[in-house]
Amino acid sequence: MTATSVRGIDHIGVTVPDLETATLFLTRAFGAEVLYDTLRRQDGPNGGPDVERRLGVPAGTQQLAVRMLALPGGGPGIELCEFEGPRREPPARPCDFGWQHVALYADDLDAAVRDCVAAGATLLAGAQPLPGPEAGEHNRFAYLRTPWGSTLQLLTYPDPQPWERTASRRSARPARSTADTWPTDPARPS
């Protein structure tokens, strides 16, 4: 194993066709909170050769808005990015190369699915049992499409999973919501 200073995922970036619509979906479906705007629409588009080189986007592409949100239970942030450009591709599907979905843990999977659908998502199929090494009596998942077409997985695994019996470490199950407190980081001064 290699030594590394990487501690975990800080945020997940999602390109959306409309920042406000995506923000509304995430706040309604998950209770997400806007933390800050890195680039506000009224501050003008961010473009040019430096942006094209830094982000690896085609010439003429402009960032219109960038916003960071947090989910109530903590964990990585969700960074929404809205672009305008000469060449746009549809969202990746699970069979395409690259990062292709975000999975969010839910204590109540059925309620989370209902909230997502009410906020504009499309359920691809009903909730299914988690298979094989993730199986457990109440361990289930469901895939949805966000209003902008990205793939979203919701899952719950309250029961022990077979893989945990022989593993040397555990995956990081998200903590329950601590909406009243700010997460503490021992590296940050108080």
Do residues 49 and 93 share a domain?
A: no
pLDDT given at position 181: 44
Domain-embedded: residue 177: no
Helix, strand, coil percentages, rounded to 5, for the chain: 20, 25, 55
How many separate domains does the chain show?
2
Summarised one tens digit per residue, pLDDT across range 101-150 is 888 999 999 999 999 999 999 999 889 999 888 899 999 999 999 999 88
Separation between Cα atoms, residue 59 and residue 102, nearest integer Å? 28
pLDDT greater than 60 at residue 180? no
Cβ contact 29:121 at 8 Å: yes
- Cα angle 13, 92, 10 (rounded to 5 degrees) comes to 20
Q: Where are the beta strands (DSSP E) in the chain?
A: 11-15, 33-39, 46-47, 62-70, 77-84, 102-105, 122-123, 128-129, 140-145, 151-156
96: pLDDT confidence band, cut at 50, 70 and 90? confident
Separation between Cα atoms, residue 77 and residue 11, nearest integer Å? 4
Fill in the amino acid letter for 50: D
Domain-embedded: residue 180: no
Domain-embedded: residue 61: yes
pLDDT given at position 189: 45
Do residues 75 and 105 share a domain?
A: no
82: pLDDT confidence band, cut at 50, 70 and 90? very high
CATH number for the domain harbouring residue 164: 3.30.720.110
Domain-embedded: residue 154: yes
Note down the domain range covering 105: 89-170
